[in-house]
Chain A
Amino acid sequence: MNVYKYASPSTFYPLAGKMVPWFAIPAAILFLAGLYVGFFVAPTDAQQGDAYRIIFIHVPAAWMGMLLYVLMALYAGIGWAFNARLSSMMASSIAPTGALFTFISLVTGALWGKPTWGTYWVWDARMTSTLILLFLYIGFISLQASIDDTRRADRAGAVLALVGVINVPIIYFSVQWWNTLHQGATIRILDKPTIVPKMLAAMLIMLAACWVYSVAVVLIRLRCTIIEREQNAARLAEAT
């Protein structure tokens, strides 16, 4: 089987359509399971009480915001370097979902900050760099929307996405590099997690839910983008 044929938008379009239900249905199931474990199985935190339950949506949303940005920059870079249309379309399709998760992480972080820190917002390194991430997403979407020529829009977006990717490690390490109000990482790749297994399970289920949800919506958006660009190209061909 030649997998490279799926690098073409026209061949990937039907495949994406077939893939959507395989991600959309598990997303709904995982969201329900994650909420159940988070609210009914995970115990109340000794220090923060039930306010900590915001973690089950806040942390997965924050991770998704960063991960989707890296993916978006990667696809945009591949699209730019190899003139691969599907990669550029994929980057455009990822951006709104990444912005959505970054927005959710900021709002839920603010709502968690009030009962634990006594304030909705402080200009500390973690929160400020996450806000910059949201602005980068908005900038990417706006830049692409403001340029009529899709090839130029893809190139301009790729430059912005690749430059902005430097913000992701800044967000991740901000709690170590600077003295921030935001707490340090609860889960580290190499260390044992500092969280009760039931709480960790709820968080990981919600993370999985956010992942499969993202794949489903990105694929649907990608299919729309393929159709829209095809129509624009056809109109341009007719006009010239």
Chain B
Amino acid sequence: MDWSMGGYGFYVWGSYLCSFVVIGLEVFTLVKRKRACAHQSKEDRPKSSHSPQTGVPRLVDNRN
């Protein structure tokens, strides 16, 4: 493989770099959000409000 991409390296590698940086940022922010959710869930909810089978929080139906 020609790493210089026949003189188009900036455009080709720039495209992939930009794409994977953006994808990486999405994954990073999602992991942060997931951790924050798990942390908040532990702080906010008493043990009894979690399902004994799955350990997931029991949901409150906020719709009438």
Contacts and interface: CB of A to CB of B under 8 A. Distances in A.
Interface string A201-239: 000000000000100010011011011111111111100
Contacts of A58: 15
A231 B40 contact: yes
A151 interface: yes
A111 B57 contact: no
A96 B28 CA distance: 13
A108 interface: yes
Contact of A227 (B8, B30, B41): B41
Contacts of A128: none
B6 A49 contact: yes
A97 interface: yes
Contact of B19 (A17, A40, A104): A104
Interface stretch (A6-14, A156-164, A172-180): A6-14
Interface in B15-64: 15-16, 18-19, 22-23, 26-27, 30, 33-34, 37-38, 40-41, 44-45, 51, 54, 56-63
Interface residues of B, number: 36
Contact of A50 (B6, B23, B34): B6
Given A49-B8, A53-B5, A221-B30, A227 B23 contact: no
Interface residues of A, number: 51
A236 B44 CA distance: 13
B60 A234 contact: yes
B59 A111 contact: no
A115 interface: yes
A230 B41 CA distance: 9
SS class of chain A's interface: helix, strand, loop or mixed? Answer: helix
A45 B34 CA distance: 43
Contact of B11 (A112, A223, A233, A234): A112
A85 interface: yes
A229 B1 CA distance: 50
Nearest to A35: B16
Nearest to A51: B8
B44 A231 contact: yes
Shortest beta-carbon contacts, A-B, top 8:
A233-B62, A50-B5, A51-B8, A233-B60, A108-B15, A49-B6, A10-B59, A14-B54
8 contacts: A49-B6, A50-B8, A103-B22, A112-B15, A228-B37, A229-B62, A232-B62, A236-B62
